[in-house]
Structure formats: C-alpha cells, structure tokens
Amino acid sequence: MLPDFTILRPATLAGACALLAEHGTAAAAYAGGTELLPAMKLGDAAPRFLVDLKGVPGLDPLGVHDAAVRVGALVTHRRLELSPLVARTLPALAWLERRLANPRIRTTGTVGGNLASGRPHSDLATFLIAAGATVTCASSTGTTRTVAAADLTLAPFHTALAEDEIITAVGIPLPPAGTALAHQRFVLVERPAANVTVRLTAAGGTVTDATVVAGAASPVPAALPEAAAALIGIPLDAGPADLHPAGEAAAQTLTVTPGADEAYQRQLVAVLVRRAARAALADLPA
C-alpha cells in the first residue's frame, strides 16, 4: 500500500527546486514514478511530499544542439526508442531503448528518473558514460551545473545530486565520422545481470581509440580502461582471437558486486565486451 503523501505541482523549474529545498529529505522529485512508487509501496521510501515535475515546462525537448543530442529529463524511454533522430544519430541508444524493461515502463519511465535513481543496473547510465555524455542539473540557488555522466552515480542508489537539485537534461555528443557505439546486455530476471557499451574510433582500417563501460554486474557502471586498451590496434575485420584479450581484461578488472556469482558475472562481462566490440566494428565504415 502507498503511504500517505501530499503531491505538489510546481509550475516552474525554480519552484520545483525551491520545494525540494524547503522539504529536504521529506520530499522527492516525481517524474514517471516507475521507481519511486514501487519503492514507496515496498516501504523502501516514504517521502511525505512528491514534487511532480510533469507540469514543469522545458524538461522534455529532444533535439540536436551544439553538436550534441539534447534529451530533456522528462523524455520517456519510449520517445527515445521511436525517435527518428536517435535512430539516425545514436542507433546503439535506439537499440538499447527497444530492449530496456518492458513497454509499460518505457512508456512512463523517464531519462531523468533512470539516472537519478542511481541503480547499478541502468543500461542508460552505462551507455551515457561510454558516449561521453553530460548531465545538466538545476538547483534552488538558481544556478545550473553540468556533471559528466561518469561522475553521476557514486554508489548503488546514491548519486552526486544535492537534495534540491533536479536533472534538467542530458547532452550526448554526436559521434564523429569513424566512431561507432554498441550496447549489449544480458538479462536473467527482470533487470540486466550485466550490460556493456563499447565505443570505437577507427582510421586506416584499425581501431585508434576505444572506450569500454560495464554496468549491472558491478556496484556502479564504470569504465574498464584495460579492456579498452586491448581493443586499440585491432583490425576492422577482427576475428575472435583479436577480441579475446579485451574480454579477458574486462573480466579481470571488473569490480564485481559483493555477494554476486562472481565467476559468472566476470564471464558475462567478457562475453558482452567481445560481442559489443564486434557489433561496433560492424558499424564502422570499411
């Protein structure tokens, strides 16, 4: 059962931040509610005030601005999934959104809510870190700051957001020509058991730059630099032997969630790194 609460409907961003500042830990921002409401029903959260962001203007744009895809915090997964812009500029994100959760969650759940939850399992967080994305936040002082996606999740369910801060948008740099991203995930129950995004840049037929990020199997999504290094120099038509070292490096350097099935989690991440690398290679122009 839902505990008692009061719903507040601010009409401006400043008003929303002010309400969060005023009520402190007794308040929670409320977007789609797909994380928040189940947590309240299970007794894991009991905010007395829900600050509904859905009436705040300016939080739902989706477009290109300054060589980046700008995604407002209230944009739903479903909108990203169906967006022709996303399909064209960030096909790996469209691929991910098509598989994230289920249609009900995708229709209601938002980008801001996904990131602000600080869930270790977030596909979106893994992808955004690999894509070099930034997260813009507004606070009750009227200032905004921009945080690298990699610096947002500090620990499971714990983010760098201050009590009065609201995520307003995410900026995902448009991948330059010669750069491709690919996401892979493996689901055992409902949320992914492991997810990986690989970003590769190639020139002259070989990989010149690489980023590997893994999540869900680890306490927070994080880059695996040794795995990325093992991808540099491999040819565009890389075979299993070329990709194997990156998988091994990922398995060895992954920080595994305590209490998890460690050997299997490392194996999954190794497999997903190889598969994501192969998919990214296939998307690079020959």
Q: Which of residues 178-217 bind another protein (CB under 8 A)?
A: 186, 188-191
- What are 173's two structure tokens? 């740099």
Nearest to 207 by CA among 248, 254, 253, 246: 246
- Between helix 123-130 and helix 91-99 the angle, nearest 10°, is 170
Select the residue interacting with another protein from 3, 38, 55, 142 (CB under 8 A).
Answer: 38
Q: Closer to ligand FAD by CB, 75 or 243: give it.
A: 75
Site string for ligand FAD, 3-32 (x = CB under 6 A): -------------------------xxxxx
Report the candidate in 183, 184, 200, 189 with the shortest Cα–Cα distance to residue 281.
200
Please give the Cα distance from 57 to 72 (Å, whole number): 10
Which among another protein, ligand FAD, none contacts residue 267 (Cβ within 5 to 8 A by kind)? Answer: another protein
- Residue 249 found at the interface with another protein (CB under 8 A): no
> In this structure, is the dihedral angle defined by the CA atoms of residues 254, 257, 258 and 260, taken in order, positive or negative?
negative
Sheet (strand 27-30) strand order:
6-8, 49-52, 27-30
Three-state DSSP state, 3: coil
Q: Is 34 a binder of ligand FAD (CB under 6 A)? A: yes
Q: Using CB under 8 A, which of the segments 6-14, 45-53, 122-130, 267-275 binds another protein?
A: 267-275
Residue from 17, 94, 101, 277 that binds ligand FAD (CB under 6 A)?
101
One residue of 102, 146, 206, 252 binding another protein per CB under 8 A: 102
Taking CB under 8 A as the binding criterion, the range among 9-17, 64-72, 169-177, 263-271 that sits at the site for another protein is 263-271
Report which secondary-structure segment, H or E, holds 227.
helix 225-229
The alpha carbon of residue 180 and the mean position of all alpha carbons in its chain are separated, in whole angstroms, by 17
Q: Interface residues with another protein (CB under 8 A)? A: 38, 102, 186, 188-191, 261, 264, 267-268, 271
